[in-house]
Amino acid sequence: MKQKFTSIWQKLFGDSVRAFGVVSVIFLASLAIAPAKNFFSEWRHYQHGYLKTIRNRSDANTLQRHFKPGIQQIWLPELGVVDRCTSCHVGLKEPSLTDVSIQPFRTHPVIPHKTDQFGCTICHRGQGAATTVAEAHSSTLAWEQPILPAKYIESSCGECHRGPLPGTPVLNEGRRLLSRYGCVNCHTVKLPDGSTVKASDDPPSLSHIADKTTREWVYAWLKDPQAYSVSATMPNFKLSDDDARDISAFLIANSTAVPGDSATLSAKPAADPSAGPSLYGESFCASCHAVQNAAGNVVGGDVGPELTRIGSKVKPEWLQGWLKNPRIYDPGTAMPHYRFNDPQVATLSGLLLAKADSDLLANVHLDAATPEQIAHGKRLVSDYGCASCHEITGIKKPENFAPELSRIGSKSITQLIFLPGMPHTLPDYLAGKIKQPRAFSPNLRMPQYSFTPAQIDALTTALLALNERSTTLPPSLAVPATPDSNYQPAGKAGKLMTDLACFSCHRINGRGGDMAPDLTWEGSSVQREWLVQFFKNPGTLRPALIRRMPRFNLTDSEITELTDYMMTVYQSPAVDRDSMPLSGYSQGEVELGKQLFYGKYSCQGCHILDTKTDKGYIGPTLTHVGSRLTAAWIYQWMKNPQALRPGTVEPNRAMTDEDAHALTAFLISQKGGAPQEVAKK
Amino acid sequence: MNRRFHTIGTFVVAVLATWLATSCSRKTESAPPAKPTAFGAAIIESSGGKQFAQTGALLPQPVVVQVNDEQGAAVAGALVEFAAVPGVTFDPASALTDSSGQVTTNVSLGGMAGRYQLVASTTDKSHKKVELKIEEIALSYQQTLGRRLNDQYCERCHNPESTVERVSNYDNLEIKPHPFTEGDTLNKISDADLTAIISYGGPALNKSALMPAWGNTLSKSDVQALISYIRAVSDPPSRQAGPVYAESGIKHPTSWPFSGLVKPSYTDASFPAGQGTEPDTTGHNRLPPLGKQLATTSMRQSTFWPFSAALNGLILKKVYAFTQAQYDGEDPGFDRHDGSDFPFEHDLLAAKGRQCHA
């Protein structure tokens, strides 16, 4: 062995000339390494593949002309983009390659931005300057941001677009959930514009909880909120029996009474067993409150809490007081003050109290609370940060209770602790943490939420959008969200509108819900007499709608107050309601309008004007439109509906003045003989 | 002399060892499928076929399949496995049927728009594979936008089905509109004609005036988005929607000697969906980014890679040891408000092996 090596050594380097020759050959060979490495590079392989792929296509000549060999680069200094992705993704900008399903040659799907202006990594992340697939796509070793999985891609939209976008449903939902599930009550989320994300979950105050419910219910709720109501947003804190016992003891002991929030009624519930359900239906409780049906589906709105087992929760006197006037117990509630009379309250509370689940509290037996238990409960309430969400007498809302999430989307994975078996990427970590926080450590205080897999993806997308780059991008790129409106109507009418919680359903001047029509310009739109009648007896305008305006039993003076305010204040500058008369149009105009209605514009497809012939279910019924709307509003609406109510479904038909005028004349003549009948679903 | 050969020998061995250590191939380990306790004869779809979802997103409803025996009765305990092109994920990918003979799986589609074919399979008594093919549709950005417009404007008339929230107007119309899934009719209408009907109304093509003109309400790109959505959901598929995405694609260089030490670990899934990365329990990912960058960039930028590779292997080890030691001295700043601690191992060999599957 040794001899052999010695002889080889002798042969190669034995004398100086031979040694020189051998060293030269080695030197030349090593010089060849760099060109060889370049020649056999990956991108060259893909470019060859691309040329082979397009060779037999009918548009081969065009594609070949567009093809540029060599490393391609998109360089955008102001965005920090150096993207060489197009070296391999050669057909990115070739629309004719939509039928090619192999990567890296597919054409990019249509998006609102150009790759020349934004590059690739702005949206997809990854390492743009890399020229090998592994380094560009999945290297977390040299680069903190591997390529973003497709399901989270909308997070990149959120770096610039701070408000909801029509094309990013997942991001929009994620952002909504961050507020709706109260994540931001504990985790501060500051946006790049300096504002803080606000919670929209409106958790109830616990300061007067003993008025409302029993300690047994609090205990059962704390143990498993979803056992009481499957749609509860309250997470499960996985409390031990003793901890739940002590917290419930503290909350009840700590509760103070609110004078007048409970009522004892002398009235008896209506004898007719169908009176309760029919009052529940007439009051449109289901527009806001859901109930789980026999099949297990939760049916109804999600503005208020689910009522499936409400009878096991509330004390009867409290419920009656609440139904009489919810604002005594909770001045900020989204529930309207219905102005029910005593028999109605008795009937409705009878119905609700019957919605009980005897199993819920069957196994809850709590002894009287000891002072030690109460003290321990208080400590637990502080430890778990209950006051981050709920108002509790004597406990301050903790500041920075949980880590701030303002830049979570660029958290370095070196700072994260992964579970065994979990892929080492930030999205996987975030999704894992949201899915099962306590899996990371049983001592963590973050509770267990009951999110669906799709909700977890949406939340992860929203969190990934909260990153460093969203702050460093040029400010000109930022598309701010529409600022929240804190519009508050003034005076007596304003107080009345708060009392009736109009904003829970209606939007006015940018504030309020989207369940019912926007009332910003209601004063220009409707006639006064109609509005008065509508408040007295709200009929339905849209036959196919299941959520309708409830009747609030308003007094005449209240109706006058509201009507006067709305007719005076809610006027559109674009519509002068007195500019066109409500009658006196010529028969010819009306006739022409009728022809246009049924012929050229075929309005009967969506509207019912004559209940015998028309069937359209989409727009409001027009049988009485002449006594409902003002002529000026109809005319402007014909000209451009979206200008009056953005986003309305009615298409803008770009009518001529004559057509619009004739249709206005025809519609305003539809006064409807008999009082408007309530259409049945 | 003796010592020199020793050194050379050590060097050669070191080079080989580094080569081997750094070129180890990535294998994804999946849990072995459960053992079936029963066998069926047929597999049928219960629900979840023909759904639409955005690219990469979860399908709104899970896919449910059922295994039946020869008599058509449900079989519990049969093994069902789901498969599709790379990029599609199943949760779970295989499971035993429950007491009602069913298996439910959550599916997220791949990163490309198009039609995806999912295959659910089970084995019968003679160990023959029984398959069920299910088709799902992934929508691109434009198609998602079109879908939103469809939901807002079109579906009220064009979809005969009613939901709790939306009563269909289809039955109220004298002349029935075409549901967008009606590929037999809609595929024959060109994009230009569809654009004309949407923008200028039915009369533009001598059709019913019940179809209003949307050209002043929707922008041109809105109309394009709508058409791309209509093409995407039509049944039978429209040619324009692209082929069923199931091709394996171009052969990627899997063992590429000249692309440096970091081997491409590229699959046809095009965008790794977060799966396939090996579990890493060693904690070596705590290495600070600077150290990593130093370690890897110096390795790549050298032209004399075979030599530098070996050297770098050693340098890397030193860098790791150094930074890890530094790092361990400090509080890493985790969100550890509960005061709990986590065990770490400092396995340097594993740290080096990580290069392959980074």
Chain A interface test: which of B22, B144, B165, B223 (most A C-beta within 10 Å):
B144
Provide the pLDDT for residue A129.
86
> What is the rounded CA–CA span in Å between residue A123 and residue A147?
9
Interface of A with B in 538-577 (CB under 8 A): 543-544, 546
Which chain A positions have a beta carbon within 8 Å of B148's beta carbon?
166-167, 169
**What three-state secondary structure class fits B119?**
strand
pLDDT over 50 at B243, yes or no: no
Domain co-membership, A224 together with A334: yes
Q: What is the CATH number of the domain that holds A332?
A: 1.10.760.10
Provide the pLDDT for residue A210.
92
Picking from A350-354, B108-112, B222-226, B349-353, which range would have the lowest pLDDT averaged per residue?
A: B349-353
Q: Cα distance from A655 to chain B (closest Cα, Å)?
A: 10
Domain co-membership, A500 together with A626: no
> What is the rounded CA–CA span in Å between residue B240 and residue B227?
10
**Domain range enclosing A188:** 158-200+402-477
Provide the pLDDT for residue A137.
83
Domain co-membership, A28 together with A77: no
Task: Establish whether the linkage from the previous residue to A203 is cis, with ω within 30° of 0.
Answer: no
Domain co-membership, A228 together with A344: yes
Is residue A253 in a domain? yes
**What three-state secondary structure class fits B125?**
coil
Interface of A with B in 23-82 (CB under 8 A): 30, 33-34, 36-37, 40-42, 45-46, 49, 53
* Alpha helix segments (H runs only) across chain B: 2-22, 141-149, 155-158, 183-186, 191-200, 220-233, 289-301, 305-329, 348-353
Per-residue DSSP letter, A496:
H
Per the DSSP assignment, residues forming a β-bridge with B64 are: B47, B104
**What three-state secondary structure class fits A514?**
coil
Domain co-membership, A546 together with A606: no
**Residue spans per domain, chain B:** 1-29+279-358, 42-139, 141-237
Interface of B with A in 123-142 (CB under 8 A): 140-142
Tell me which residue in A103, A109, A150 faces B142 most closely, judged by beta carbons: A109
Long-range contacts of B303-309 (CB under 8 A, 24+ apart): B303/A33, B303/A34, B303/A37, B304/A30, B304/A33, B305/A33, B305/A37, B305/B260, B305/B261, B306/A33, B306/B15, B309/B15, B309/B18, B309/B19, B309/B22, B309/B261
Domain co-membership, A184 together with A106: no
> What is the rounded CA–CA span in Å between residue A199 and residue A401?
15
Provide the pLDDT for residue B315.
63
Tell me which residue in A110, A149, A617 faces B272 most closely, judged by beta carbons: A149
The answer to whether the CB atoms of B281 and A420 lie below 8 A apart is: yes
Tell me which residue in A167, A170, A654 faces B57 most closely, judged by beta carbons: A170
Is residue A303 in a domain? yes
Which chain B positions have a beta carbon within 8 Å of A151's beta carbon?
54-58, 108, 273
Domain co-membership, A436 together with A522: no
Domain co-membership, A79 together with A9: no
Closest CA to B133 of B37, B231, B244: B244
CATH 3.40.50.300 matches B42-139: no
Which tokens is A33 given? 């390494």
pLDDT over 80 at B278, yes or no: no
Cβ of residue B329 closer than 8 Å to a chain A Cβ: no
The answer to whether the CB atoms of B57 and A457 lie below 8 A apart is: yes
Sign of CA dihedral A384, A390, A395, A401: positive
Domain co-membership, A231 together with A327: yes
The answer to whether the CB atoms of A150 and B273 lie below 8 A apart is: yes
Is residue A381 in a domain? no
Q: What is the CATH number of the domain that holds A187?
A: 2.60.40.420
Cα separations in angstroms, A224 against A185, A208, A214, A571:
21, 21, 16, 50
Is residue A387 in a domain? no
Cβ of residue B297 closer than 8 Å to a chain A Cβ: yes
Residue type, B37: T
Which chain A positions have a beta carbon within 8 Å of B54's beta carbon?
151, 169-170
Task: Establish whether the linkage from the previous residue to B237 is cis, with ω within 30° of 0.
Answer: no
Mind spelling out the 3-state secondary structure of A100-141?
A: CCCCCCCCCCCCCCCHHHHCCHHHHCCCCCCCCHHHHHHCCC
Which chain B positions have a beta carbon within 8 Å of A413's beta carbon?
285
Q: Cα distance from B43 to chain A (closest Cα, Å)?
A: 26
In chain A, the residue whose alpha carbon lies closest to the alpha carbon of B1 is A6
> What is the rounded CA–CA span in Å between residue A162 and residue A159?
7
Is residue A574 in a domain? no
Residue with tokens 């009345």: A496
Provide the pLDDT for residue A307.
93
Which tokens is B64 given? 């449910």
> What is the rounded CA–CA span in Å between residue A196 and residue A481?
13
Tell me which residue in A133, A412, A441 faces B340 most closely, judged by beta carbons: A441
In chain A, the residue whose alpha carbon lies closest to the alpha carbon of B353 is A141
Which chain B positions have a beta carbon within 8 Å of A605's beta carbon?
157, 169, 172-173, 210, 212
The answer to whether the CB atoms of B164 and A5 lie below 8 A apart is: no
The answer to whether the CB atoms of A651 and B250 lie below 8 A apart is: no
pLDDT tens digits, one per residue of B50-91: 888 888 888 989 999 999 988 888 888 888 999 888 778 898
Is residue A575 in a domain? no
* Domain end among A446, A477, A508: A477
Which tokens is B88 given? 């599609």
Cα separations in angstroms, B185 against A80, A612, B182, B194, B238:
49, 32, 6, 12, 10
pLDDT tens digits, one per residue of A379-427: 999 999 999 999 998 888 888 889 999 999 988 888 888 888 888 888 9
The answer to whether the CB atoms of A102 and B173 lie below 8 A apart is: no
Cα separations in angstroms, A388 against A121, A202, A382, A383, A397:
38, 12, 9, 11, 5
The b/e string for A254-265 (b: 16+ C-beta within 10 A; e otherwise) is bbeebeebbbeb
Q: How far apart are the first and last CA of chain B?
A: 42
Is residue A674 in a domain? no
Q: Taking the mean position of all CA atoms in its chain, how far away is CA A449?
A: 17
* Domain end among A296, A322, A353: A353
The answer to whether the CB atoms of A150 and B55 lie below 8 A apart is: yes
> What is the rounded CA–CA span in Å between residue A514 and residue A508?
10
pTM over 0.90: no
pLDDT tens digits, one per residue of B289-317: 444 444 444 444 444 445 555 665 566 56
**What three-state secondary structure class fits A232?**
coil
Q: Cα distance from B35 to chain A (closest Cα, Å)?
A: 22
Domain co-membership, A215 together with A167: no
The residues of chain A scoring below 50 in pLDDT are 674-681
Provide the pLDDT for residue B320.
56
Domain co-membership, A196 together with A243: no
CATH architecture of B141-237: Orthogonal Bundle (1.10)
Chain A interface test: which of B7, B266, B284 (most A C-beta within 10 Å):
B266
Residue with tokens 């599709």: B84
Query: What mean pLDDT value characterizes chain B?
Result: 69
Domain co-membership, A424 together with A520: no
Q: Is the ipTM of this complex over 0.90?
A: no
> What is the rounded CA–CA span in Å between residue A336 and residue A180?
21
DSSP string for A609-623: SSTTT----SS---T
Interface of A with B in 398-417 (CB under 8 A): 402-403, 412-417
Cβ of residue A534 closer than 8 Å to a chain B Cβ: no
Residue with tokens 């830049």: A407
Closest CA to B287 of A414, A175, A364, A675: A414
Is residue A554 in a domain? yes
Interface of B with A in 163-192 (CB under 8 A): 164-169, 171-173
**How many structural domains does chain A have?**
6
Q: Identify whether the C-beta of residue B282 lies closer than 8 Å to the C-beta of residue A408.
A: no
When computed from its CA atoms, the radius of gyration of chain A, rounded to whole angstroms, is 34
**What three-state secondary structure class fits B122?**
strand
Which tokens is A219 given? 């205990």
The answer to whether the CB atoms of A134 and B265 lie below 8 A apart is: yes
Q: Identify whether the C-beta of residue B255 lies closer than 8 Å to the C-beta of residue B202.
A: no
Helix (H) / strand (E) containing A225:
helix A225-228
Mind spelling out the 3-state secondary structure of A279-347?
A: HHHHCCHHHCCEEECCCCCEEECCCCCCCCCHHHCECHHHHHHHHHCCCCCCCCCCCCCCCCCHHHHHH
Q: Cα distance from B181 to chain A (closest Cα, Å)?
A: 20
Provide the pLDDT for residue A144.
65
Q: Identify whether the C-beta of residue A467 lies closer than 8 Å to the C-beta of residue A159.
A: yes
